[in-house]
Structure 1
């Protein structure tokens, strides 16, 4: 019996690589707070890719955009710009950048949707529920009233009822998340200058 490979479970084209190519970073390296803010686009043409991509962050090593089949309002994906199959394939500099952006993005989502509880989930491989073969983290807000579901794994692993993202609502939601990211970056910049 031969071993199966990742290619046996995944499509040939990686949708996240397509997003990375379509929305390049405006800078190649971050060296100050203005560079950080330049990674948060003012306006995004969500229809440059199909399905639409509601981008909130386009940094040199990291991208963030709304999940096209969100579990809850504000469900955000955070991914490496370069194609990496599993977390073990992410080099240190990219891992550091993801580690920098995750708390900022989680706070921005939390502020936007008004939910203080959330999961950050990252799956590796098809048996671990990784659907897209590209490292990504889910930031999933957990509102007080959760959808009625039949599969109780929703509570732990982020699975369960999912609906298609409405493009008009998503455009407004992404714009507000981007505003909240900029607000958090300003807050952090002020706090660093006061040290």
Structure 2
């Protein structure tokens, strides 16, 4: 990564930018989000600069999701919540603002407004689409591997 295209997450991982670090593993670092949506909103960030989940090695993937598994309970408990929203923006078109793989863990208290994945997108743009056709395309691609 050159100085023209600095990645804020790479700078956090490398200690150039200070962050409120919560947890660290071989392949990930967890921090409080600097612009939280809810109290306790945290990020688990890949230590390697890879934009999407499919760019991670299986070892990196396992390590990061193990960290999410461990942290989610700790974050919920410390924020007095019984639930959380765990989210990934996997690429620019999915709303990923920083092209560096990361997972949001957002604790949701009983008193908070309820958030469902469907409510984030309204009705979406798939009304009337053929689910069998979609299933066929995805199944065919899976069989190729």
**Normalization by structure 1: what TM-score?**
0.55
Aligned to 1:12: 5
| Structure 2 unmatched runs, 5+ | 121-145
Pairwise CA RMSD: 2.2
Q: How many angstroms does 1:12 deviate by?
A: 1.8
Looking at both structures, which has the greater relative contact order when contacts are Cα pairs under 8 Å and sequence separation is at least 6?
1
Moved >4 Å (runs of 4+): none
1:78 aligns with 2:39: no
**Residue 121 of structure 1 contacts residue 158 of structure 1 at CA under 8 Å; is this kept in 2?**
no
In structure 2, the residue matched to 1:156 is: 117
For 1:157 and 1:137, locate their aligned partners in 2 and report how far apart those are by CA, in whole Å.
19
Equivalent of 1:101, from 67, 70, 82?
67
Tell me whether 1:69 sits opposite 2:35 in the alignment. Answer: yes
Aligned to 2:98: 132
Give the number of equivalent residue pairs: 117
2:82–2:110 contact (8 Å) kept in structure 1: no
Q: What TM-score, normalized by structure 2, do the two folds share?
A: 0.73
Structure-2 separation of matches of 1:112 and 1:87:
28
**Cα gap change, 1:64/1:119 in structure 2, threshold over 3 Å: closer, same or farther?**
same
Structure 1, gaps ≥5 residues long: 1-10, 23-47, 160-195
